[in-house]
Structure formats: structure tokens, C-alpha cells
Amino acid sequence: HLPTADLQALDAAHHMHPFTTNDELGDKGARIITRAKGIYLTDSEGNEILDAMAGLWCVNLGYGREEMGNVAARQMNELPYYNTFFQTTHVPAIALAKELADLAPGDLNHVFFAGSGSEANDTNLRMVRTYWAQKGKPEKSHIISRKNAYHGSSVGSASLGGMTYMHEQGGLPIPGIHHIGQPDWYAEGGDMSPEDFGLKRAQELEAKIVELGADKVAAFIAEPVQGAGGVVVPPSTYWPEIQRICDKHDILLIADEVICGFGRTGNWFGSQTMGIKPHIMTIAKGLSSGYAPIGGSIVCDEVAEVINACEFNHGYTYSGHPVCAAVALENLRIMQEENIVAHVQNVAAPALKEALDKLGEHPLVGGVNVSGLMASLPLTPHKESRAKFADSGTAGYICREHCFANNLVMRHVGDRMIISPPLIITPEEIKIFAERATKALDATYADLKDKD
Ligand code: PLP
């Protein structure tokens, strides 16, 4: 290895990072991660950093599981690549599709593979429009999504997403996509009860459908618990009302399970936690615990029947890639053998909730949003009123830096601190997380006081 500073100089000279600027990389250069085991990362300076983000919400099994590497090596040597286009297939794709059909609830029995969550949402966009066109309703093509949602970075998936700062670059969204409000009671609920606010936000869907005409609306897409927008856990009234509205108006429901899927919320899928019955689920990330790039759409019988009856002119070179599929299968095998979902539900989530409730008493923390092992702690200058900081994002950024200084990775979305650790995290490790988080919050509080 070159010394850290030399690597950082090369990185700055040649490597374009997603979602960052040279200024943000700053004089310090990027942090270089060299190894990882369990929930800990090691950087090029030898620091052991507790990863409370599981990478990008994906390393659910934790790092360093040799079984995964062994399976990948075996599959590389046996059949490193073949495609699933036209009339060819291979054993890893068949086995993974069958496994996913068994794990997914209801009649979600069919899988269209992709290389990532973005690609899978592009598939969904074209699939729902094709579905209605095949049924003789080509005008039923509009898709309703939500403000501040994240569904990926491709043109289609970023259009489905509701992040305006993404839309501003590249002329998005593409036509026929509409965004309604989030059930973000903490930030936008004001004096309303969470239940009333949840209903109000769900009814925005019905208002939008009526405005466009139900015969024009193909689908509604949403994350069961919104992730990258700040971990927005919806009030209990929200999803039942959304389900009622989709059923009433014959709108396909797409649950983007890219973060929520595979145990994150304490069930195999966030749709089960929220009690909804989607027609399509988007999957990626936890499907392989991030060990290999793979995503897909799990599709219900009715939609699959219509799509399979026509030639769906869509697919990726790496749809169902054999090495990625084999790694995903091994991930699911380990998850079942080690009862990871039950561990989340019965052990890790209660321990995290207890730790977060304690952190919630910190003067800088305005509340606790948590579902299973995904959570956010919104920072506030005034606890009682849930007030926002005038310069949004600064407190979150300062806190994230103090987390790093205390060997902890927490991400910040504006002024919300985000937590999404590997699902294997133990109560003892959650205590270490809470100690480091407390130090980071204390240091942030002191910095902000100094600024006043
Ligand atoms: N959907 C959701 C809910 C996500 O959180 C993400 C990524 O963070 C995506 C889709 C995009 O997935 P990918 O980055 O694999 O393209």
C-alpha cells in the first residue's frame, strides 16, 4: 500500500465520488477503508470504526463472512457468466428466483432480476406501464410517488424519486410522474396528532388520483419506511389508508423494499411490518448483504401473467448474474440458518430502541424515529417545539464529523442522524454504539453553543 496521503491524492485526482464535492472531501481527503469484520471497519490509519450504517444500509450480515467469498469463488470457476435473455437460464438464477418466491408474502411469486435497486425501479416503471397497455389501457400510465423519496439514480428511478436537488440536474422528472407529501409527522405534522397527520397525507394520494383520473394512473410507489429521505416511520393510520385507496382505484402498489427488505424492520419485508399487499416489490442491498451487486423486482401472479404473455423488451446484461445470484442465495441461507430476522425482532431492535430512547433525552435530540433496525435522531435547537436549525444540515454535518472522531459511522440527512447497523449487531455492541453516539452529540452540542 502507498501511504494514506498518497492514496488520497490519487483519489482526489482521478476518482469521481457520488454525491460529494471536492470541497466536502476537503484538505483531509477521503477516508480509506481497508478491511472490515462483523460491524467494524478498519481504515488505512488502523482505526476501528463501528459501522452503524451497514455501508449504505446493506451489509445486513456484517462484514467478513468467508462463506460468501467461497461461494463466489466456486461460482466464478464453474460458470462466471451467462445471460438470462431469450430462452437461456442457469441454476443460480433459477434457485434464487424460487427462494425469493418462497420468502415473499402472498402471490409475489416471480422475479425479474437487475443489477441494482435503480435498475429494478426502472424495470418497475416500464413494467407497470406495459401491464396496463397490454390490458388495453395504454393511457393508464401515470405514476404517483412521494416528495423526498429515494428510488435510485438512473433517469427513471431518480424521476420516481422525489429529491428536487436530483431533479435539478439533467432535466428530471421524466413526464407522467407526480409526487405527493410524505407522512413525516416529526418535520411537518405541527400540532396534529400523528394519526390524523398520517390520514391527511394518505388522502393526498386519493386527491391526486381524482385530479389525474383513476383511468390515467398506473401505480403508486413508496418505501414502506422511507430511508434516505431521513427514516420517516409513518403513523399507524398511513399505510392502511394508502392500501384502501390503491384497491378502490385499481392502482398497482409498488413497495420499494431496497432498504426495508430482508429483515431491516424486523420482518422479512417492510410490507409485512406495515401490513400492506404490494403487487411488486423492489429489492437490492440486503438481498446479497451488499457482497455482490444484485437487485430485482418480485412480481405478483397477475402482473407476471400479463407481462410474460407479451415480449417485455427490457433486461440487463447482468440480470440474474450467476456469481451475484449464488452470493445472494448464500446470504439468504445464512440468514435463515442463523435466524437473523428473529434476532432483529426479539433481540437487536428492542436493544436499539432502548438505547435510542436514552439518546432521545439528549438536549440536542428532538425525537426518535425507529422501525426495527432503521432509525433517525433529528437534531433540534429547541426540543419542545421540534424546531429546525436556520442553516439546515450544519448541525448534522458537525455531528457526523464528531461520530467519525469517535470511531463511529452515522450518516446525516440534513439535521437527522441516521442509524442502520448490520442486522447481526448484539446488545453489547449497541451499548458501544450508544456510548460513541453520546460523545458525538455532546461534542456537537458544545460546538453549536460556542457558535451562538
Ligand atoms: N430504492 C431505495 C429505497 C434505496 O434506498 C436505494 C438506494 O439507496 C435505491 C432504490 C437504489 O438502489 P441502488 O443504489 O442499488 O441503485
Q: Is 439 helix (H, G, I), strand (E, B) or coil?
A: helix
Unique residue bearing C-alpha cell 448483504: 289
Average pLDDT, the chain: 97
* Whether residue 221 has its Cβ less than 6 Å from ligand 1: no
**Which residue has the least CA distance to atom 7 on ligand 1?**
152
Same domain as 254, residue 165: yes
**What is the mean predicted confidence (pLDDT) over 37-59?**
98
Same domain as 172, residue 310: yes
Q: How far apart are CA 72 and CA 384, in angstroms?
A: 52
* Whether residue 156 has its Cβ less than 6 Å from ligand 1: no
Identify whether 24 is part of a domain.
Answer: no
Give the domain range for residue 332: 66-337
Same domain as 279, residue 411: no
Task: Report the alpha-carbon angle 236-277-98, nearest 5.
Answer: 135
Contacts of 66 (CB under 8 A, 6+ apart): none
Q: How far apart are CA 126 and CA 405, in angstroms?
A: 45
Helix 91-103 to helix 322-337 angle (10° resolution) is: 40
CA 228 to ligand 1: nearest atom? 5
Which DSSP letter does residue 345 get? I
408's grid cell: 463511529
Q: How close is the Cα of 87 to the center of ligand 1, in Å?
A: 29
CA 56 to ligand 1: nearest atom? 8
**What is the mean predicted confidence (pLDDT) over 56-70?**
98
Q: How far apart are CA 82 and CA 66, in angstroms?
A: 24
Unique residue bearing C-alpha cell 458501544: 432
Percentage of residues in the chain having pLDDT higher than 70:
100
* Whether residue 115 has its Cβ less than 6 Å from ligand 1: no
Unique residue bearing C-alpha cell 441454476: 91
Q: Read off the pLDDT of residues 178-222 as tens digits, 9 standing for 90 and up.
A: 999 999 999 999 999 999 999 999 999 999 999 999 999 999 999
Residue 24 has pLDDT above 80, yes or no: no
Identify whether 16 is part of a domain.
Answer: no
Identify whether 77 is part of a domain.
Answer: yes
**What is the mean predicted confidence (pLDDT) over 24-39?**
89
**What is the mean predicted confidence (pLDDT) over 215-231?**
98
**What is the mean predicted confidence (pLDDT) over 250-262?**
98
Q: How close is the Cα of 121 to the center of ligand 1, in Å?
A: 9
Rg (CA), the chain: 22
Q: How close is the Cα of 100 to the center of ligand 1, in Å?
A: 19
Unique residue bearing C-alpha cell 438505547: 355
Same domain as 345, residue 333: no
Same domain as 253, residue 202: yes
- Count of structural domains, the chain: 2
Unique residue bearing C-alpha cell 401515470: 142
Nearest to 286 by CA among 118, 49, 62: 62
**What is the mean predicted confidence (pLDDT) over 135-163?**
98
* Whether residue 257 has its Cβ less than 6 Å from ligand 1: no
Q: Read off the pLDDT of residues 367-402 as tens digits, 9 standing for 90 and up.
A: 999 999 999 999 999 988 889 999 999 999 999 999
Q: How far apart are CA 223 and CA 283, in angstroms?
A: 11
Q: Which of residues 297, 322, 337 is at a domain's end? A: 337
* Whether residue 231 has its Cβ less than 6 Å from ligand 1: no
Helix 194-212 to helix 238-249 angle (10° resolution) is: 20
Q: Read off the pLDDT of residues 282-299 as tens digits, 9 standing for 90 and up.
A: 999 999 999 999 999 999
Q: How close is the Cα of 223 to the center of ligand 1, in Å?
A: 10
Decide which of 452 and 332 is more confident. 332
Residue 22 has pLDDT above 90, yes or no: no
Beta-bridge partners for 84 = none
Q: Which of residues 317, 337, 357 is at a domain's end? A: 337
Q: How close is the Cα of 382 to the center of ligand 1, in Å?
A: 33
Strands 374-378 and 142-146: unpaired
User: In the prediction, which pLDDT does 452 show?
Assistant: 63
* Strand boundaries in 290-423, DSSP class E: 295-300, 369-371, 374-378, 408-409, 411-413, 416-419
- Containing 283, the helix (H) or strand (E) segment is strand 280-283
Same domain as 293, residue 376: no
Identify whether 125 is part of a domain.
Answer: yes
* Whether residue 297 has its Cβ less than 6 Å from ligand 1: no
Same domain as 259, residue 193: yes
* Whether residue 228 has its Cβ less than 6 Å from ligand 1: yes
CA 154 to ligand 1: nearest atom? 16
Identify whether 164 is part of a domain.
Answer: yes
Q: How close is the Cα of 165 to the center of ligand 1, in Å?
A: 16
Identify whether 14 is part of a domain.
Answer: no
Beta-bridge partners for 296 = 113, 283
**Which residue has the least CA distance to atom 10 on ligand 1?**
151
Q: How close is the Cα of 259 to the center of ligand 1, in Å?
A: 7
Identify whether 307 is part of a domain.
Answer: yes
- Asked if residue 143 lies in contact with residue 177, where contact means CB atoms within 8 angstroms, the answer is yes
Strands 295-300 and 108-114: antiparallel
107's grid cell: 402471490
- Asked if residue 422 lies in contact with residue 62, where contact means CB atoms within 8 angstroms, the answer is yes
Decide which of 330 and 13 is more confident. 330
- Asked if residue 322 lies in contact with residue 94, where contact means CB atoms within 8 angstroms, the answer is no
Same domain as 321, residue 431: no
Q: How far apart are CA 56 and CA 118, in angstroms?
A: 14
Residue 28 has pLDDT above 80, yes or no: no
User: In the prediction, which pLDDT does 26 show?
Assistant: 72
- CA dist 111 to 40, 283, 317, Å? 33, 10, 16
* Whether residue 152 has its Cβ less than 6 Å from ligand 1: yes
ipTM: 0.99
- CATH number of the domain residue 156 falls in: 3.40.640.10
Q: How close is the Cα of 118 to the center of ligand 1, in Å?
A: 6
Phi, psi of 179 (to 5 degrees): -125, 130
* Whether residue 258 has its Cβ less than 6 Å from ligand 1: yes
* Strand boundaries in 53-166, DSSP class E: 108-114, 142-146
Identify whether 11 is part of a domain.
Answer: no
* Whether residue 286 has its Cβ less than 6 Å from ligand 1: no
- Asked if residue 149 lies in contact with residue 162, where contact means CB atoms within 8 angstroms, the answer is yes
410: confidence class by pLDDT, cuts 50, 70, 90? very high
DSSP track, 8-58: HHHHHHH-PPTT--HHHHTTT----EEEEEBTEEEETT--EEEETTHHHHT
Q: Read off the pLDDT of residues 330-358 as tens digits, 9 standing for 90 and up.
A: 999 999 999 999 999 999 999 999 999 99
* Whether residue 53 has its Cβ less than 6 Å from ligand 1: no
- CATH number of the domain residue 420 falls in: 3.90.1150.10
Q: Which of residues 306, 337, 368 is at a domain's end? A: 337
Q: How far apart are CA 393 and CA 381, in angstroms?
A: 13
* Whether residue 151 has its Cβ less than 6 Å from ligand 1: yes
Same domain as 268, residue 122: yes
Q: How far apart are CA 230 and CA 412, in angstroms?
A: 8
Same domain as 380, residue 283: no
Same domain as 295, residue 156: yes
Q: Is 261 helix (H, G, I), strand (E, B) or coil?
A: coil
- Asked if residue 176 lies in contact with residue 140, where contact means CB atoms within 8 angstroms, the answer is no
Q: How close is the Cα of 143 to the center of ligand 1, in Å?
A: 18
Phi, psi of 377 (to 5 degrees): -115, 105
- CA dist 430 to 347, 413, 422, 426, Å? 11, 21, 11, 6
Pick from 151, 282, 324 the residue to mutate for probing ligand 1's pocket: most ligand atoms within 8 Å of its CB: 151
Same domain as 431, residue 320: no
Strands 177-180 and 142-146: parallel
